[in-house]
Amino acid sequence: MPSSHRRHRLLAALTVAVLGLTACAPGASIEREPIAQAEGDLPGDMQERLQAAVETAMAATGSTGAIVEVRAPWSGVWTKALGTTTPEGPAVTTDMKFRIGPVTRTMTCDVLYGMADRGIVSIDDALGEWLSGFPSLAEVTLGELCDSSSGLSTYADEVASRWYANPTRKWSAKELVAYGVAKGVDGEPGAAYKDSDTGYLLLALALERASHQTAAELFEEYVFAPLEMDGSSLPQTTRGSDGWLNGLRSGTAKGATNCAAPTDLTSMSPTTGFTAGGAVSDIDELSDYIQAVALGVRSYDTDERFADPLPISGSAPSWFTAKGGAFQAGSLLGNSGSVPGYLTAAYADTETGLSVAVVLNNSRASGTVARQLAWQLAAVASKAPAASGETAPEAGGLPWEAATFGEAIVDSAICPLP
């Protein structure tokens, strides 16, 4: 099966690099051997539970299709494509590409830490050292932009209606930044987490200036090449929808969500998200990526990056925090949210390597649903029995039950449930 072949190929490549035989890219090397994946599939009854959870989330969000991969290194793998690409479209397949949304932000921080590892920039560099024209932000550090603690607001809410009216328009990162910067800074930089797509675009502009490379080139050097993510990219345009999971968004009809006839946004320019949400991948490579980040396999995956995380909000559970361009939920590390057309999530356990990657193809619902689904699937898979010759992790696990987030998804449904 292709996904199994790819996992074996990646493990072999990373192991070679660990032994010091080669580096995968000029700016990156692999320094920690990844956790080996047990052969075979997850147990059949567990697959049924996982699939039922994904199907409920599809119905709740009006998604016609979904792709998901769950890996329990001690037990097995479940990779599944469900539904159709559009209401009347062909069946979804597991090799289809899609925009990975906010996981792009984690990759932008990979570039920052990779460049810092090479001495090109410092995490504590002030933005003003690399970019002029933003006097009110001159002392904000690159690290604070990565941590989403700069106090900057988001730009998406200001321009989303224009994206939907003209989805193929190519946007300048500086133009999008201007919308976010115009809203001002809330609080003292570094003091608190505040979701900010604006900050990740500013960070990329600074890194481009420091490196004399484009963001796409930096992603290739520090993110994709080291992990052999040959099918992933940070594109400037969407070149047709062949081989893609179509990205949809339900509109409104007669005062209610029109779940039956969503708008197809697959052709929307990825420049709307750029380094905050514009990267493209497939489910296998997304799984490879988030496991590598969580397990710290690259030379610049430092413990310091994710140390002393910030609470998401005053009302969030103590185990839900953010740092280094990623969320931390118990022992899981990853990212999740929405971009036009898609709800995405990718999380992996920093101790066991358990990983979940999922995409739903309708973005009308809150991006929180993607996170809730990933955490629900992780809770189910964390209890997978050990395969022959393997040892299951010690009891303890995640600080929530699968049912908690299953119920939350049902309660937030925007479309009728079967």
What does the pLDDT read at residue 132?
A: 92
What does the pLDDT read at residue 12?
A: 45
What does the mean pLDDT of the chain come to?
92
φ and ψ at residue 284, rounded to 5 degrees: -65, -45
Read off the pLDDT of residues 370-415 as tens digits, 9 standing for 90 and up. 999 999 999 999 999 999 999 999 877 899 999 999 999 999 999 9
Give residues with Cβ within 8 angstroms of 32, minimum separation 6: 18, 295, 296, 297, 301
Q: Determine if residue 308 is left, alpha or beta; phi over 0 gives left, psi from -120 to 50 gives alpha, anything else beta.
A: left
CATH of 2-411, one of 3.40.710.10, 3.40.50.10490, 3.40.50.1220, 3.40.1390.20: 3.40.710.10
Gap between the Cα atoms of 34 and 18, Å rounded = 9
Q: Which two tokens stand for residue 246?
A: 């179509």
One-letter amino acid at 270 equals P
Gap between the Cα atoms of 289 and 273, Å rounded = 19
Residue 97, pLDDT > 50, answer: yes
pTM: 0.94
Q: Across residues 272-298, what is the average pLDDT?
A: 97
- How many residues does this entry show for the chain? 418
Q: Where are the alpha helices (DSSP H) in 149-196?
A: 156-165, 173-181
What does the pLDDT read at residue 299?
A: 87
Q: Across residues 45-57, what is the average pLDDT?
A: 98
What does the pLDDT read at residue 32?
A: 67
What does the pLDDT read at residue 16?
A: 40
Residue 15, pLDDT > 50, answer: no
What does the pLDDT read at residue 251?
A: 96
Break the chain down into helix, strand, coil percent, rounded to 5.
35, 20, 45
Q: Longest Cα pair distance anywhere in the chain, in angstroms?
A: 63
What residue ranges do the domains of the chain occupy? 2-411
Q: Where are the alpha helices (DSSP H) in 166-243?
A: 173-181, 197-211, 215-219
